[in-house]
Chain A
Amino acid sequence: MDAITFFIQAMNGIQYGLLLFLVATGLTLIFGIMGVINIAHGSFYMVGAYLAWSLMGWFGNFWVGLFAGVLVALFLGLALEWLFIRFLYDRDHLQQVLVTYGLILIFSELRSILWGDDVHSVPIPELLSGSIQLTENLAYPIYRLWLSGVCIVIAILMYVGIQHTRLGMMIRAGESDRDMTKALGINIGLVYRFVFALGVSLAAFSGMISAPIASVFPGMGNQVLIVSFVVVVIGGLGSIKGAMVAALMVGLIDTFGKVLNVNILGINILPEMAGMSIFALMAIILMFRPQGIFGKGH
């Protein structure tokens, strides 16, 4: 692998990592702050992509469709929290898994009824549809670069929002002691409802902006669910910073794992086992830091 190819692959890895961060960050919010295992996270990603497809087609404009889609997702999140999730805070993880697993089945059926089982695609907005020529035969779509930019902006907003605003303070307080926060006169129920809706919107938003490059198809949610959990667990539950570091690690390992040849005793280790590489990373990190890289441990 020459230097230019290496550089491009590194860029691919970082770009993929940033996208993973965006998908996983909603999960780390809900999982880390509220203590709810939400395995329907992938479904929200899928719903987002389908929303993008129908709303952007409806309005005929990417940006309007995106805005409308985020609003719908926000309300969906609020409604789901009120209907189901608020009963789960004091229950054990198994019951949370059961309820959110049920949501996966419901959303998959609803998707089939409302949108059908076809594969769809969402056009890239004209403003971002060009590409940059990297080598004589390889170009890089501008949309992917824009996507990376959006992920970085979201990361900064989340970090500032949680560390340096009053709402962020309430969220963090609720995370360390729910009852005490309540006793101080903070409506923690409302804060949690907001956090859950934010998590849902983030998942849906990442589905929406991924839709133009990922296409829209029935099983798409399940694909991102597992890798999101890997990112969240490696980074440490509830840590935005951890999710970012872990997502970049996973993105780079996944990218290089697919193409690098590492020969051990005449057997091609990496490309053959690329599917395992990110899980191997997770296992190694958990061996030394069971709470994840930036996890606090309980």
Chain B
Amino acid sequence: MSIINRREFLAGSSALAGLSFMSLAGCSKKTDSIRVGFMLPYTGTYAKLGMAIENGFRLALGELGDKPFGKTIDFYTVDDESNPAKATDNANKIMTRDNVDVVIGTVHSGVAMGMIKVAKDTGSLVIVPNAGANAATGAMCAPNVFRTSFSNWQPTHPLGKIMVEQGLKKSIFVTWKYGAGEEASASFREGFEAAGGEVIKELFVPFPNVEFQAILTEIASLRPDAVACFFAGGGAVKFVKDYAAAGLKKSIPLFGSGFLTEGVLDAQGDAAEGVTTTLHYADQLQNAKNKAFREAYRLAYSEEADVYAVQGYDAGLLLIKALQETSGDLSQKVKAIQAMEGAEIDSPRGAWKMSKSHNPIQNFYTMKVRNGVNEVVGTAWENLEDPAVGCALKEL
């Protein structure tokens, strides 16, 4: 039994062919508009992050008014579903079919790497608003690829310093066995050993498994001074709760990169009390820019901004630098790239500069959870720059 007959199939496929022809016809570039593409996850686990990034970005561009430089801004979106297998297709769709001037994307590192490979061929301007893979501004760095978030090397690097300062010299690192986790673990070890600490064991949990009981028992029997970890989202909630439920928090303090508590602090509840993290943004930062940003974000979207919204917002601020330099004509690519390379961004996270490899040189703040609030207790590292291993980018 056939589900669709041949005629229906032919009719359907010719309709499809018509569609793709139309989109090709629409390809000729209008110069009276700025074409911005979002390649972000709008469905799946990271949907919320994708939306926060887009919201932040639109908020920044909104500061330019309705018709910046006499042009309209046209937005194009592709849902990348955080699916690396579709990354090349999706990147081609937005870069070639929609022919955008700049792509904002994405959250998932695997998808970002696929996207960057395509961008290297098409020469499209790309601003990465989250994905942390070191290679994006390391071995795979490119003149047309910028990042406004962080490299995986950055958030766990300052942890070692603050732990040793507190006299905690023997530590275990726990994370998921996957790219970001391994990069976070390597960077933690580097920072901790440089500060005089010793990583007595690295424990990996298969990604995205959230059964931690075996790991917790191992930690209890090894008795380190402290535990550092890298988890995010649902896994972060479960790890922090399990850690507290196993009674370990009382004797072995827990540290982590800020993703451990970001956006999930409410779900962690009492279990998160006393957890210390480092991140490039803290919602409690007391600077004028952050207050104004949080207020504007709340007004526009009736929800609280998070680090992902800030990264999206900064992607917008970065693009504005390029627009100002080129009077809104992003086809002057060299000028646009030069503007972004020299950019100093007045961000809610504090001012930061673009590094030679196109990754933010930024402060990392120490936060400690007290009474359900992630209080900023200090700056763990000022102007931390990713080592950009394998990147030989020359300024244009």
Residues of chain A at the chain B interface (Cβ within 8 Å): 1-2, 5, 8-9, 12-13, 15-16, 108-109, 112, 116-121, 123, 131, 133, 135, 137-141, 143-144, 213-220, 223, 254-256, 258-259, 271-272, 274-275
User: Would you call A139 and B214 a contact (CB within 8 A)?
Assistant: no
Contact indicator A108/B238 (Cβ below 8 Å): no
Is B251 an interface position by the 8 A CB rule?
Answer: yes
CB pair A5–B233 under 8 Å, yes or no, is no
Q: Among B43, B206, B251, point to the contact of A137 (Cβ < 8 A).
A: B251
For B221, list chain A residues within 8 Å (CB): 1-2, 5, 135, 138
- B223 in contact with A223 (CB, 8 Å): no
Contact: B206 with A215, CB < 8 Å?
no
Contact A118 B48, CB 8 Å, known A5-B221, A219-B234, A259-B203: yes
B267 and A254 form a contact (CB under 8 A): no
A87 to chain B, nearest CB (A): 13
Chain B interface size, as a band, is: 35 or more
**Does the CB pair B213–A138 fall under 8 Å?**
no
B234 touches A215 (CB 8 A): yes
Q: Are B247 and A255 within 8 A (Cβ)?
A: no
**Residue B97 at the A interface, CB < 8 A?**
no
Taking a contact as CB atoms under 8 Å apart, the answer to whether A217 and B248 are in contact is: no
Whole-angstrom CA separation of A34 from B291 in the bound complex: 59
Asked whether A223 lies within 8 Å of B208 as measured between CB atoms, the reply is yes
Q: Are A140 and B237 in contact (CB under 8 A)?
A: no
**With A119-B237, A121-B267 in contact, is A131–B245 under 8 Å at CB?**
yes
Q: How many angstroms between the C-alpha atoms of A215 and B363 in the bound complex?
A: 32
Q: Does B372 contact A (CB under 8 A)?
A: no
Rounded to whole angstroms, the CA-CA distance of A133 and B246 in the bound complex is 9
Question: Is A109 in contact with B246, judged by CB distance below 8 angstroms?
Answer: no
Q: Collect the chain B residues with CB atoms within 8 Å of residue A8's CB.
A: 217
Does residue B73 face the partner (Cβ distance < 8 Å to A)?
Answer: no
Q: Are A258 and B208 in contact (CB under 8 A)?
A: no
Q: Which residues of A contact B295 (CB under 8 A)?
A: none
Given contacts A258-B215, A258-B218, 18 further A-B contacts (CB under 8 A): A5-B218, A9-B218, A15-B213, A118-B267, A121-B241, A123-B269, A133-B247, A137-B220, A137-B223, A137-B250, A138-B248, A140-B246, A141-B246, A214-B210, A215-B241, A217-B45, A217-B237, A258-B204
CB–CB B211/A254 < 8 A: yes
B247 touches A131 (CB 8 A): yes
Are A275 and B209 in touch, CB under 8 angstroms? yes
Of residues 246 through 291 on chain B, the ones whose CB sits less than 8 Å from some CB of chain A are 246-248, 250-252, 263-264, 267-269
Of B214, B251, B252, most A-chain CB atoms within 10 Å? B214
Query: Which residues of B sit under 8 angstroms from A275, Cβ to Cβ?
Result: 177, 206-207, 209
B43, B233, B268: which contacts A112 (Cβ < 8 A)? B43
CB-based nearest B residue for A142: B245
B47 part of interface (Cβ distance < 8 Å): yes
